[in-house]
Amino acid sequence: MELKNVILEKEDKIAVVTINRPKALNALNSDTLTELDYVIGEIENDDEVFAVILTGAGDKAFVAGADISEMKDKSVIEGRKFGILGNKVFRRLELLEKPVIAAVNGFALGGGCEISMACDIRIASNKAKFGQPETGLGITPGFGGTQRLARHVGEGMAKELIYTAKIIKADEALRIGLVNRVVEPEELMSAAKELAKTIANNAPIAVKLSKQAINRGMQCDIDTALSFESEAFGECFSTEDQKDAMSAFVEKRKMEGFKNR
Ligand code: DAK
């Protein structure tokens, strides 16, 4: 597929995905969502990639939301189709068997805040701003915002943010637990890459199974959740990486290079 609105770059076990429509503040239109879907598929099938960074082009926006110009005149059926496409892509990102770090470099509004929440970890520049402005546009959040925001920051805070449509700065996002860390704008990509590298140097299967166990466990009761953990833990003992790493520890050697097997 020819990519016009999304850039995919790979370096040293890491894929960097950049949403690239800076003139529209990287707003998500159908074409961009379709390209993102394609790129996620490429990353899924790439055995050399062990961590992913998602960011926005330019210094003003991560993603300023779903594309309002495209949505404005949609019929009910078209609106539903757009929502289904967005939800499918966001969910695919969330379930990707590789960790995804959102490097939030500016506005993360509406669909932008929502796509960052479908990532595993959020690092923000101190210029970033977050919010779900949809109720001010006569709609509800449609790409998972009503569900993921409450899971990230708690029900009361999510309701306040969604009902008021207010936009918050990075330090407030940090305070309420929406982001993991806030850094200077010029340090954002290096901080995201350093984190991605640290993750990519651990056992990929263990990272993948941890992601699955956390994601699945967050949706159910603690007993069921702990059974997912036991399952994941057990599965690790079928891997060469577990044998190699534990042998290295016992033999007081440094573990060099996980094999992803
Ligand atoms: N869509 C389309 N274009 C956008 C955009 C967006 N979300 N955000 C910005 N742009 C465009 C502007 O129209 C402008 O284009 P030109 O006029 O230059 O052609 C360009 O980006 C620069 O924007 P501004 O001139 O407005 O820049 P400012 O610095 O003055 O303001 C801003 C920056 C981020 C505060 C402002 O652009 C803004 O308020 N943008 C809209 C933010 C927003 O409300 N985002 C949420 C969108 S709603 C659903 C599915 C999905 C959704 C809901 C339901 N279902 C199917 C159920 C999702 C909804 C959303 O995400």
27 Cα: distance to centroid of ligand 1 (angstroms): 6
pLDDT tens per residue, the chain (261 residues)? 999 999 999 999 999 999 999 999 999 999 999 999 999 999 999 999 999 999 999 999 999 999 999 999 999 999 889 989 999 999 999 999 999 999 999 999 999 999 999 999 999 999 999 999 999 999 999 999 999 999 999 999 999 999 999 999 999 999 999 999 999 999 999 999 999 999 999 999 999 999 999 999 999 999 999 999 999 999 999 999 999 999 999 999 999 899 999
Active site residue 186: no
Terminal-to-terminal C-alpha distance of the chain: 31
The CA distance from 234 to 227, in Å, is 10
172 is catalytic: no
Reduced to 3 DSSP states, what percent helix, strand and coil does the chain have, rounded to the nearest 5?
Answer: 50, 15, 30
List the catalytic residue out of 114, 160, 172, 231: 114
Residues with CB under 6 A from ligand 1: 24-25, 27, 64-69, 79, 82-83, 86, 107, 109-111, 133-134, 137, 139, 141-143
**Among all chains, which residue has been given the structure tokens 């394609």?**
38
Looking up tokens 């949505």 gives: 71
Give me the pLDDT at residue 49, please.
97
The edge-to-edge listing of strands for the beta sheet with 61-63 is 61-63, 107-109, 129-131, 167-169
Q: Which DSSP state fits 97?
A: S
Name which residue sits closest to atom 8 of ligand 1, judged by CA.
64
What is the structure's pLDDT at 82?
92
| Number of alpha carbons in the 13 Å side-chain half-sphere of residue 11 | 11
Residue nearest to atom 52 of ligand 1 (CA): 142
8 CA distance to ligand 1 middle (Å): 23
**In contact, 13 and 200? CB cutoff 8 Å:** yes
CA distance 209 to 213: 6
| Confidence at residue 15, expressed as pLDDT on a 0 to 100 scale | 98
What pLDDT does 135 receive? 97
